[in-house]
Structure formats: C-alpha cells, structure tokens
Structure 1
Amino acid sequence: MQEIDNQDVINNFITTSGYDGQFSFDPQQDTKLFHFAANDFIVKAGAPLTYLFYLVKGKAKLYDVLANGKVSLIDFFTPPCFIGEMELIEQRPETAFSMQAITDCWCLALPIRSLQKKLLADPIFLRQICLYFVHKNYRTVKTAGNNAAFPVAQRLASFILLTAHDGLYSEKHVQVAEYLGISYRHLLYVLAQFVKDGYLVKQQHHYKITNLDALTALAQDVNESTN
C-alpha cells in the first residue's frame, strides 16, 4: 500500500468518481489516496480497520478463509464502491473478510477513528450505504440465478474477463469451481476447450487470453444479466 500525496490526482478522483456526493459534508480535507499493487491486500481479515475505502480504479476480490483453511471466494468489486462499510456500520474493531487487489487499485480513504461518529450521523452517507447494500444484494441474487440459467462456458468466460490482469488469468481452480458451482473436473474440461478453441494459451501457472473478442461475445449474455 502506498499513499499518493498529490492533491491534483486526489481532486481528480474525487470529481470523476462521485465521491463527494456520498456525504453531506465536504470530505476533501480528510481524504487520502492509496495505491494498491495487484495482489496487495486492501483489507485483511482480523486486522484493525483504520480507513473507510472508496475504490475509484481497479478490480478487487473478497474472500473468506474458513476454519479448515479453505479459501472461499465471495464477490468481486469494481469502481465505484465502498470497502469496510460493514465494519463501520456494525462498529467492529476488525475486518471480517479479506479483500485483495486483482489489478492495481486506487482508493480514496477516510480515517475511521476520527470520523466514525460523523459518518454514522450523516443521513446522505447512510442513504448511500443502504443503496449500496441493496445493489450488492441484487448482484448476489443475479449471480446465483446466472449459475442456474447459463452454461458453464458462458459463466467461465465472464469470470475470466472479470479476474484477468494484463491479459493473464491465474485464479486457483479449486476456488473458481466452488464459486461457479461446478466440479473441479468440469472446470478443467471447459478451460481445455477454451485452449483448443484458441481463446486461451496455457503458460505455466496462468492462462494468456489470446482471443478477447471471442471471450467477450461468449460472456455477453451473462454480463448483461448481472449488470
């Protein structure tokens, strides 16, 4: 995590992301900007939450590490969105889940310790958080519906496009199979078919996207349904 101390860059993100419209007060003087490199943790389960983040650029994934050590993918996030809002509302001292950057991410951030009472008393912020929760719940329901309604190839194509970074797809097969609700063997079969069709090329521990247009066309119905 790197703090970006450039007020022009901060102001640009504030203006273009709609960040200042999330509050009834002017948040600019309290706002910081952080850059997270791909694979960096934005928040980590069990760690103190010091900032309320607002993702303004990049892609991130939310997951849980279960008691048996198994990692369960929960959701994926693109801008603009809050990170840490559940802990803020529930006033938890620690984060419940881990969020990791898939690509380079930039987040505007407000310090929770000094602003928690102000945020929880802000009607505009609370309304925006309620709408945000509704949208997240809607997306979760639509994703569950898509798992039943669309073929695996279409859902996997959408998943690859969502999680790829710099044209490379490298998510762990076990976690992906569980997230998509399919068997490990079925996942490998569809990936092998993508390679055969020229959509992907296997390269050691990841896949390189070689036909972006074909994957995009295959994923179109799923993406339209989710959005």
Structure 2
Amino acid sequence: MRLIKNDDLKRQFIAKWGYDQQFSFDVAQAARLYLFPAKSTIVQAPDRPHDLLYLVKGKTKLYDTLANGKVALIDFFTPPCFIGEMELLDPQSPSFTVQAIEDCWCLALPMATYREQLLQDTTFLRCVCQYLGRKNTRNIKTFSQNQAFTLSQRLAGFILLTANNMIYEEKHTQVAQYFGVSYHHLLYVLADFVKQGYLEKAGHHYRVRQPEALARLAHEVEWRKT
C-alpha cells in the first residue's frame, strides 16, 4: 500500500465517481488516496480494515477461509464500491480477505477518526443502504446465472474479469468451487478454450489471445461487479 500525494488525481477520482456527494461533510479534504499494487492484500482476515475504502480504479477479489482451512473465492469488485462498510456498520461482522487483481486505487477515510461521524451521517447511510441493496440484487442474479448459462459462457466472462494484463492465473480448485462444478469439468473447458485459440497455456497461467471471442461467448452474462 502506498499513499499517493497527488491532489489533482484525487480530485479527478472524486469527481468521476461522485464520491463527495455520498457524504454530508467535506470528504474531499478528509479522504486519502492509496495505491495497492497488483496481487497485494487490501484487507487480511481476520484483521479488520482500518479505513473505509472506496475503490475508484482496479479490480479486487474477496476470499473466505473455511473451518477446514480451505480458502474459498467469494466475489469480485470493480469501481465504484466500498470496502469495509460492513465492518464499519457492525463491529461484530466477520472480516474477509480482499486482494488486488491489478493495481487498485482507493479513497480512504480512517475509521478510528470518522466512525461516529459516518454513523450519524444520513446522506452516507442512505448511500450505503442503496449500495448494499444493489450488491444483494447482483448476488441473486449471479446465482440465477449459474443455473441458466453454460460453464463456457460463465468462464469466458470470469477470465476477462480476473485477467491482469491479459494473463489469467486463478487457482483451478477455487474457481471450480466458485462455479459449483467439478475440477475436471473446469479443466475440460479450459482445454477447449486453448484448442479454440482463445487462450494459450504458458507455464502455470494462461495468456488471453482472443479477448473479443471470449467477450462474444460471455455477452449474455453480466460480469461487471459493483
């Protein structure tokens, strides 16, 4: 994590996503801008986030560590979205690990300083409620998509979402669990993508060779996470 001391860039991000309109106080002065490099950890469970983060550029993924020690892939997020809002609203809520897929820029408000002010800010609370409602709707749609679309369609969109600089390197076991399919079924579809020329196997990862073809395959599946 690196603090970015660039007021012009911070103002651009605030204006682009209407960040300041989600609060009743002068958040532009209070917020900091952080850069999380690709593959770095933004939040490491069970530690709780120190800041209320707002993702303004980049892609992240959410993990949970299960009782048996296995790590489960839960969700993905792209701008604009809050990170740490549940921990702010409910100090007893469980914390999940958040990792940057690519370089991620986040606006940040220190919770220790602004927790009480945020919890009394009706403008912010209204925006968070709307955000959580949209997140719930998206989760329901994802569940229905898992039933309505083929693995090839879903995996095509998943690869485009999670690839960094056209390199796809998610763990097969976690992806199979995420989609609710067998490990062998996932490998079969990946091998078919290689055969079709969509992907190229390169060591322990895949290089995306035909993003347009994958996009056509996934065009009916909504993969944008907000």
- TM category (shorter chain) comes to over 0.9
Question: Structure 1 residue 40 and structure 2 residue 40: aligned?
Answer: yes
Distance 2:224 2:57 in 1: 23
Please name the residue that 1:192 is paired with: 191
Please name the residue that 2:31 is paired with: 31
Q: Does 201-210 or 94-103 show the bigger shift?
A: 94-103
TM-score between the two structures when normalised by the length of structure 2: 0.96
**For residues 41-56 of structure 1, what are the structure 2 equivalents within 5 Å?**
41-56=41-56
Please name the residue that 2:202 is paired with: 203
1:1-32 Cα shifts (integer Å, max 9, x gaps)? 00001111111111112110111111012110
Query: Between the two proteins, what is the percent identity of the paired residues?
Result: 55
RMSD: 1.6
Distance 1:100 1:226 in 2: 15
Cα distance, 1:95 vs structure 2: 6.1
Q: Is residue 89–residue 119 contact of structure 2 (8 Å, CA) maintained in 1?
A: yes
Cα distance, 1:74 vs structure 2: 0.9
Distance 2:211 2:28 in 1: 39
Distance 2:29 2:194 in 1: 50
Distance 1:194 1:85 in 2: 38
CA 1:5 to 1:225, structure 2 compared with 1: closer, same or farther past 3 Å?
Answer: closer
Mind listing any 5+ residue stretches in structure 2 that lack a counterpart? none
Please name the residue that 2:135 is paired with: 136
Q: Which amino acid letter does the alignment assign opposite residue 121 of structure 1?
A: Q
1:74-102 Cα shifts (integer Å, max 9, x gaps)? 1100000000000000034x861000000
Q: Does 41-50 or 157-166 show the bigger shift?
A: 41-50
**For residues 145-184 of structure 1, what are the structure 2 equivalents within 5 Å?**
145-184=144-183
Q: Is residue 60–residue 100 contact of structure 2 (8 Å, CA) maintained in 1?
A: yes
Q: Which amino acid letter does the alignment assign opposite residue 8 of structure 2?
A: D
Mind listing any 5+ residue stretches in structure 1 that lack a counterpart? none
Distance 2:139 2:218 in 1: 18
Q: Secondary structure at the match of 2:197?
A: coil
Distance 2:200 2:42 in 1: 30
Distance 2:153 2:139 in 1: 18
Q: Does 199-208 or 216-225 show the bigger shift?
A: 216-225
Distance 1:82 1:181 in 2: 27
Q: Secondary structure at the match of 1:100?
A: strand
Distance 2:47 2:5 in 1: 24
Distance 1:152 1:198 in 2: 17
1:129-148 Cα shifts (integer Å, max 9, x gaps)? 10111111111111110010
1:102-152 Cα shifts (integer Å, max 9, x gaps)? 010000000100110000001110011101111111111111100100011
Cα distance, 1:184 vs structure 2: 0.3
CA 1:178 to 1:19, structure 2 compared with 1: closer, same or farther past 3 Å?
Answer: same
Please name the residue that 1:123 is paired with: 122
CA 1:129 to 1:89, structure 2 compared with 1: closer, same or farther past 3 Å?
Answer: same
1:163-222 Cα shifts (integer Å, max 9, x gaps)? 000001000000000111110000000000000000000000100000111000001001
Q: Which amino acid letter does the alignment assign opposite residue 29 of structure 2?
A: Q
